[in-house]
Amino acid sequence: MKAILTILATIAIFTTANAQKKNVIFYKDYTTFKGEEFNKTNAAKQKTGTWLKLKMDTLHKKVVLTTDDEKNVTETDLNKYNWEVIGKGEYAKNMRQGKWIYGYNDLAVHFADVNYVNDLIVSPVVFYDESMPWIKAEWINNKWFYTLWDDDIKKYIDTHQKNTLEKLFLSKGIDFNDVK
């Protein structure tokens, strides 16, 4: 009997520990990440409020999802799936608005600032390297121009390089289709 109680206590502790590890939960109208609510939709199914772009480590092919039909919930265990925040910003009336930040390691490493008006990218777009200014992209005369940050003179200078927003985001593993 004592052995059975020990086993039951161990199972209870293990279950409680695993329940506490569940950090990403996808609900019908919002998502929680590390206990905070994001990615909300309103009654008209429009995106609103603060949204996170989440990326799952594609190296982990084994995916086990559980669904609670009563609550319409799909849960994932952060310790099994390496979910990472790669972008954060605001939605209003189903459109991105204002400054969105992009990066990796749950945005601990800041890679880019992208400004949106009614879901369209507006100038400038600023890229960072190790959280320091790196390249600024500006929309001038219907074309993107790229300038490089010169830390010695503390300003951006012409790079004469052929950059594209796509290449700059891809250099950090971010699909530009998730940004534009």
What is the count of structural domains for the chain? 1
In a domain, 4, yes or no: no
> In degrees, to the nearest 5, what angle opens at C-alpha 109 toward C-alphas 107 and 115?
65
Residue with tokens 């010169």: 150
- The answer as to whether 33 is a domain residue is yes
Predicted pLDDT at 57:
63
Residue 34, pLDDT score: 85
The pTM of the full predicted model, rounded to 2 decimals, is 0.72
Half-sphere exposure of 73 (CA within 13 A, CB side): 10
Structural domain span for residue 27: 22-178
Q: Report yes or no on 146 lying in a domain.
A: yes
Q: Report the percent of the chain where pLDDT is more than 70.
A: 73
More confident residue, 87 or 34: 87
What's residue 26's pLDDT?
81
pLDDT at 22 over 90: no
5 domain residue, yes or no: no
**112 within a domain of the structure (yes/no):** yes
Tokens describing residue 114: 């992208």
Residue 12 falls within a domain, yes or no? no
Q: Are 104 and 111 in contact (CB under 8 A)?
A: yes
Question: Does 29 map to a domain?
Answer: yes
Judge whether 47 and 39 are in contact, CB under 8 Å: yes
Q: State mean pLDDT over 126-140.
A: 90
Q: What is the pLDDT of residue 105?
A: 84
What residues have CB less than 8 Å from 143, skipping those under 6 apart? none
Q: What's the CA gap between 172 and 55, in Å, rounded? A: 13
Identify whether the C-beta of residue 65 lies closer than 8 Å to the C-beta of residue 75.
Answer: yes
Instruction: Answer with the residue of higher pLDDT: 25 or 100.
Output: 100
Q: Which of the pair, 167 or 81, is modelled with greater confidence?
A: 167
60-91 tens-digit pLDDT: 444 444 444 445 555 554 445 667 899 999 99
Are 135 and 163 within 8 A, CB to CB? yes
Strands (E), 105-142: 109-117, 120-129, 132-140
